[in-house]
Amino acid sequence: MTETERHRVMLEVLKDRPFATVRDLQAVIDASPATIRRDIAKLHATGSVRKVFGGIAAAEAANPFDRVTARPFTENQMLGVAAKKAIALEAAALVHDGDALIIHGGSTCYLFALLLAERNVRIFTNSMPLAATLWQNGTCHLSLAGGELYREPGILFSPQSSRPEFFASKFFLGAQAITPNGMHESHPLVVRETEQLLQRADEVIVLADSRKFGVRARNPMMPLSRVGTLITDDGITDSNHRMLIDAGIRVIIAKPVPDAS
């Protein structure tokens, strides 16, 4: 990767998030930390980015709408909880005892996996929050991705690692945005990690509440044709529902139950 290409990737990363560490950049750029720091200094000198402790920040604050799809895991946990719980219940109904599953990071997948904590299933996950909870409260068989912890998305990943030696009948994952072109993510690291896991599962099941339609996320993750089933809530529009059906996706509509309290 040339210097110009590295600079382009750095600027692309900052279009979807206000800050990136050197380690974050290493996950998407094939370069040493020293090279990345030199690139940061050059971009800072041109005014394209701001050099800050540990990484780079956007030169100007982005519009909050542009960053709606790049919230950290801990913040996403607080959004659309009723819809996510309903989606999680529908997803759990698709799991059979003895299944081998890959469960990706993300707040909806987290709620779904909690329902499997004491089921007779094998789970492979890259989600640090999920792994910690299942370790403390579960009896299911658990396998973890290796590598370093990336705190914003809450996942474990090693840029040098090969695909995991784990094969699953079902791969459950979320998406930051859903368009006619497919599933998209704001964090390029999530895309890289997902590409490895897609080759280790028979069926892909996307858990995505209706807020994910019509928002923007810059990095394509996979086409609609790779998705077997998508579970969403009853806020989905007729046009988006038809888009999924026309792509050959089985759509399950979860109806959130109002909180009795």
The span from the CA of 177 to the CA of 230, in Å, is: 13
DSSP one-letter string for 39-96 = HHHHHHHHTSEEEETTEEEESSPPPGGGGGGG--HHHHTTSSHHHHHHHHHHHHTT--
| Same domain flag for 211 and 99 | yes
Parent domain of 95: 73-254
| Same domain flag for 40 and 84 | no
| Same domain flag for 120 and 240 | yes
The span from the CA of 157 to the CA of 103, in Å, is: 14
Q: What is the CATH number of the domain that holds 198?
A: 3.40.50.1360
Q: What is the pLDDT along the chain (261 residues), one digit of tens a residue?
A: 899 989 988 888 887 666 788 888 888 888 898 999 999 999 988 888 888 767 888 775 444 334 444 554 444 544 558 889 999 999 999 999 999 999 998 889 999 999 999 999 999 999 999 999 999 989 999 999 888 887 777 788 877 666 678 999 999 999 989 999 999 988 788 888 898 899 999 999 999 999 898 777 888 999 999 999 999 999 899 999 999 999 999 999 998 776 544
| Same domain flag for 235 and 164 | yes
Q: Model-level pTM?
A: 0.71
Q: What is the CATH number of the domain that holds 17?
A: 1.10.10.10
How many domains is the chain partitioned into structurally? 2
Q: What was the pLDDT predicted at 77?
A: 45
| Same domain flag for 161 and 248 | yes
The span from the CA of 48 to the CA of 42, in Å, is: 9
Helix (H) or strand (E) holding 234: none
The span from the CA of 115 to the CA of 111, in Å, is: 7
Q: What was the pLDDT predicted at 69?
A: 42
Residue 68 falls within a domain, yes or no? no
| Same domain flag for 182 and 129 | yes
Residue 40 falls within a domain, yes or no? yes
| Same domain flag for 103 and 229 | yes
Residue 30 falls within a domain, yes or no? yes
Residue 225 falls within a domain, yes or no? yes
* Residue at which a domain ends, from 16, 33, 62: 62
